[in-house]
Every structure is written in structure tokens, then in C-alpha cells.
Amino acid sequence: MRNGSYAVSVMRNILLASVILISGGTVTAQAADGDAAAGKTVFNTCKACHTIEAGGPNRVGPNLHGIVGRKAGSVDGFSYSAAVKDAGYEWDEQKLDTYLKDPKAALPGNKMAFAGVKDDAKRADLIAYLKSESTK
């Protein structure tokens, strides 16, 4: 219902505002344990193959805008491997963490020629960055 969803969005804004207040006025988008600003640097290793901005082109890999919460293998016009196309899930922080740590092990047969980000803190920063870019 229209009014209902308006109320929900007001509630969400109030909640967000209080989260920002509690965290001491920090307004930068930051996931629980990752630093999006630091993650931007980690993303440099992805840029050869991926764009992140809304409507950005596919390169060797698909555009990653909105990747957190997006169905795996769902960018129109990108030729995915069956491994990604048929993964059958939406990317959340946990799934991205597993995949980006070791892509080959997480989704055998996927064609992302990338060894992975082995450092746990860097991966958390990277995912915080992917998340913050998803809402721009």
C-alpha cells in the first residue's frame, strides 16, 4: 500500500539518521567492518576488467553497479560462463567475500581470470566500496 511504504521509508530514514548520530556524525558510507575509501584503492585491481558506475560498459567482465543484492550472472548482453549464470543466488556480502577470496574455488568453471584478494581486511574494504558505489 502506498501509505504503508511511505511510512516504511520514513522509518528507514529515521533509523539511518540515528545510526549516523550514534556513530558520531560519520556520514561516509561504511559497512560494519570495511572502509569504503580504502576499498576504492583495492578496486584498482578490478578496473582492467570491470566498470562500477551506473550504466558503465561491460569490459572483459560485466559492469558491477549495484552488485550487492544483484542476481549473479544477470547483466544483459554479457556472455557469462554457465558457472556464474547458473549460480542461482544474489550476491550478498558473504557470497562476494567467498568469491573474491578465491574465485576458482567458489565457482568452479567461472572465467574470471583473477587470483582473488587474499587479505581479509582488504576484501572487507573492497566490499564496503562495492556497496557504497551500488547506491550512487
Cβ(42)–Cβ(133) below 8 Å = no
The cell for 45 is 585491481
> Binding string, 3-42, against ligand HEC, x = CB under 6 A?
----------------------------------------
Closest separation in Å from C-beta 114 to ligand HEC: 4
Looking at beta carbons only, is 30 or 62 nearer to ligand HEC? Answer: 62
Contact predicate 90/70, CB 8 Å = yes
Identify the bridge partners of residue 71 per DSSP, sorted by sequence position.
90
Q: Which residues, in sequence order, are CB contacts of 81 under 8 Å at separation 6+?
A: 109, 110, 111
Measured from the CB atom, the residue of 9 and 51 that comes closer to ligand HEC is 51
Q: Is 131 in the site for ligand HEC (CB under 6 A)?
A: no
Largest CA distance in the chain: 48
By CB under 6 A, name the binding residues for ligand HEC: 45-46, 48-50, 60-62, 64, 67, 72-75, 80-81, 83-84, 91, 96, 100, 110-114, 117, 126
